[in-house]
Chain A
Amino acid sequence: MSTLAIPGQLLGSAAKFQPGPGTHIHESNLYSSLLGSVVITQPAKAPGPTKRLNKIINTTTTPAELPTISVSRSGVSEKQRETLPEVGNIVLCRVIRITPGQAVVAILICGDTVLDAEWQGLIRAQDVRATEKDRVKIYESFRPGDIVRAEVISLGDQANYYLSTARNELGVIIASSEAGNAMYPVNWKEYRDPETGLSEPRKVAKPY
């Protein structure tokens, strides 16, 4: 089902749908807030049949079981809608500069979307890894120019988003050596230059 919606168009009752992106609630009805096509996503797990029918059943469906209705621009227009990094998103970013306490990065990709605007992020030393946080040294984890996969943990202050790499699959994914060659990861904390054979320390992201 793909119908067009314009801002302010009534989509349905808030009791029947869960609000998704591009919608808003007004007087317990769902309205579109964007120009785009309407997408209705059924909940991931269909509400399974309750086994003990003789027991008192919770008749009111919990919101998680409702289909989500959303309005999105994608698929209708080739123009990509601008997105913002949000808490919980996985982002790809480039390290701009490092200090002993933090690494300053530029966020390039949020989820699957390439961002138009320049958003700045910050990876603090205590957010680099989950264990032995007090032994983290930023210069042994990142170098300027590295491409890092990180998670947004806070909208931060006026200038920076706060990012974290404190998970196995997060960290440096592309790095180049001091000699300028692209390196390959050898273990969880090292990248190696294939030409000089020298290793450099990094917070390495676990390959998928």
Chain B
Amino acid sequence: MASTQTLLSPAELAYLHSSLSLTPPIRPDGRSSTQFRPLVAETGILPGTNGSARICFADGTEAIVGVKAEVERTKSALTTTEDETVHRLEGEFVEGLAGAGGNSAGNIDEEDNDGLEGQNEWVELSVEIPGYRDDDSGTVFLSALLTEALLADGNLTKKLRINTRFHWKLYLDILLISPPLSYPLPLLSLTTHLALLSTRLPRLKSEGDEDPFFDDDWAAAPYLYPRENGTSGKATLRPPISLLVMAVGNNIIFDPAKEELAVADVALAVSIGDGKDNNSNAMDTDTRNLRLLSVRTIDPPSRLTPPGVPNATNTAYGAAAGTTAQKQPEARAAESEAVEGVWKPPRGGAKPLVMAALVQKVLEKGGVTDEVLDALDAVELE
């Protein structure tokens, strides 16, 4: 998907690249380098879901996310069968085996830990983008990226645990309604964030390991991400967001449009979580505690753009047309130094320092991430 062809001429690409490399950069739509595109967001739009959200970008791209939860039996660590007695038997088998190995307690402890941790299969995320097959590499990449961020800190799966035998299975269905006009990662990530924030699971009435039954009163259903004072305040712990950030020349540009991405030197998807530190339990609700959850390089489409032809080698500008001497079949000419103002698709990668600077910029205190989270806070949850 990152390699979506852009229909820009080499001259346009060269112009875009040089205007984006200026300090400060001049973006085609007049935004500042850290400014996001304006968007309209609402939550709780789908009554049949546990949580939902819709975000509409000013350019008309729109995404809907629905979160559905189902109660599922927890599979034992060893066997696929769900029968409890078999589970016990297998458990003893393990014990016996480990006992022969010397120590059995360690194994059992571990299993208990696993139970508390929650499992990654409990969350299933699917992305659908019109015009792309659902096994298209771009779609798969996006859903892997979003899943990875969600599961990175293990907090979400922990919340899905009901008791040792049952858990919630969470289905996140991400639907892009319009064909993607730009790389849809920020849109999908922000919509998912809002949908998860508005997700509620029915209140559990049963206790312990008995078969779960739930409170019918939807108003009493707690939020998946709990709020400060009951149901009204801000969420204390929030789902992660993934931001798209790219570098051109010496500039770092957030939320690039498709045209801007077409001249990117490097593009990164950075996922950030916002939660309390596991070590220090000091709950300071005013300052965020950002956490870096994942970083992925996005293959910038700039590598697949057509190169420009410098005047020196352009026969239309009086360059010697007949380099006919070089007609050996392997002679690949057109290898030349970069010429100012002539577009040349970037080769190679990015310096590690540039990559570090991109991540640094995202994580900056009081920077763009804070701004985005503040803006998302302001979205009225149903």
Q: A residues touching B (Cβ–Cβ < 8 Å)? A: 14, 19-26, 28, 44, 70, 72, 81, 83, 85-86, 88-90, 110-113
Stretch at the interface among B242-250, B289-297, B325-333, B371-379: B325-333
- Among B329, B331, B348: residue with most chain A CB under 10 A: B329
What is the CA–CA distance of A55 and B330 in the complex, to the nearest angstrom? 40
The answer to whether the Cβ of B337 comes within 8 Å of any Cβ in the partner chain is yes
Please, which residue of chain B has its CB at the minimum distance from the CB of A84? B329
| 10 closest residue pairs by CB, A with B | A111-B329, A21-B330, A19-B335, A83-B329, A110-B329, A88-B327, A113-B329, A89-B329, A21-B331, A21-B332
Which A residues touch B80, using CB under 8 A? none
What is the CA–CA distance of A83 and B375 in the complex, to the nearest angstrom? 55
Beyond A14-B337, A25-B337, whether A89 also contacts B327 by CB under 8 A is: yes
What is the CA–CA distance of A25 and B348 in the complex, to the nearest angstrom? 12
How many Cβ-Cβ contacts under 8 Å join chain A to chain B?
39
Could you write out 24 A-B pairs with CB less than 8 Å apart? Answer: A14-B337, A19-B335, A20-B331, A21-B331, A22-B330, A23-B335, A24-B347, A25-B336, A25-B337, A26-B347, A28-B337, A44-B325, A83-B329, A83-B330, A88-B324, A88-B326, A88-B327, A89-B327, A89-B329, A90-B327, A110-B329, A111-B327, A112-B329, A113-B329
Q: Which of B327-364 contact A (CB under 8 A)?
A: 327-332, 335-337, 347-348
Contact indicator B336/A26 (Cβ below 8 Å)? no
Which B residues touch A28, using CB under 8 A? 337
Contact indicator B328/A111 (Cβ below 8 Å)? yes
What is the CA–CA distance of A81 and B348 in the complex, to the nearest angstrom? 23
Which A residues touch B325, using CB under 8 A? 44
Please, which residue of chain A has its CB at the minimum distance from the CB of B338? A25
What is the CA–CA distance of A21 and B35 in the complex, to the nearest angstrom? 45
What is the CA–CA distance of A18 and B330 in the complex, to the nearest angstrom? 15
Q: What's the minimum C-beta distance from A105 to chain B, rounded to whole angstroms?
A: 17
What is the CA–CA distance of A70 and B326 in the complex, to the nearest angstrom? 13
Contact indicator A26/B327 (Cβ below 8 Å)? no
Please, which residue of chain B has its CB at the minimum distance from the CB of A74? B330
Which A residues touch B347, using CB under 8 A? 24, 26
Which B residues touch A112, using CB under 8 A? 329
Which B residues touch A44, using CB under 8 A? 325
Q: What's the minimum C-beta distance from B308 to chain A, rounded to whole angstroms?
A: 16
Mask: chain B, 273-302; 1 = CB below 8 Å from A; 0 = not: 000000000000000000000000000000
- Among A28, A81, A111: residue with most chain B CB under 10 A: A111
Which of B332, B336, B348 makes the CB contact (< 8 A) with A86? B332
Which A residues touch B331, using CB under 8 A? 20-21, 86
What is the CA–CA distance of A21 and B330 in the complex, to the nearest angstrom? 6
Q: What's the minimum C-beta distance from B317 to chain A, rounded to whole angstroms?
A: 17
Q: What's the minimum C-beta distance from B92 to chain A, rounded to whole angstroms?
A: 58
Extra contacts besides A21-B332, A86-B329, A89-B329 (14): CB < 8 Å: A14-B337, A19-B335, A23-B335, A25-B335, A44-B325, A83-B329, A85-B329, A86-B331, A86-B332, A88-B326, A88-B327, A89-B327, A90-B327, A111-B329
Which B residues touch A14, using CB under 8 A? 337
What is the CA–CA distance of A14 and B335 in the complex, to the nearest angstrom? 11
Q: What's the minimum C-beta distance from A41 to chain B, rounded to whole angstroms?
A: 10
Which B residues touch A26, using CB under 8 A? 347-348
